[in-house]
Amino acid sequence: MVSVTPEELYLYCKADNEEQQLLADQLAEAAEASILSKGISLNDRNKPRFGLLVKAMTLHEMDHPGEELPRGIREKINDLKFNH
């Protein structure tokens, strides 16, 4: 992960044991890859919003595995894509 630190991710996702932290790490890597695949680059200007998206996507997947992303997260992805 380059957009958030493990500590930030674990705090946001309330991942307080090794198993949850490992899952959070894997899901955050996938979230970053997903965002990057949409043509959104990570830079100093958008790093806070990019990191928040990674954390939100990770938490959503931890709590609701396999479910579609909520509209609010999808809107933030589009906002970042078109306003970065």
What pLDDT is recorded for position 18? 98
What pLDDT is recorded for position 68? 97
What pLDDT is recorded for position 1? 77
Domain residue ranges in the chain: 6-82
Provide the whole-model pTM.
0.94
Residue from 62, 79, 56 nearest 16 by CA? 62
What pLDDT is recorded for position 83? 83
Q: How does pLDDT run across 28-82, given as a tens digit for each residue?
A: 999 999 999 999 999 999 999 999 999 999 999 999 999 999 999 999 999 999 9
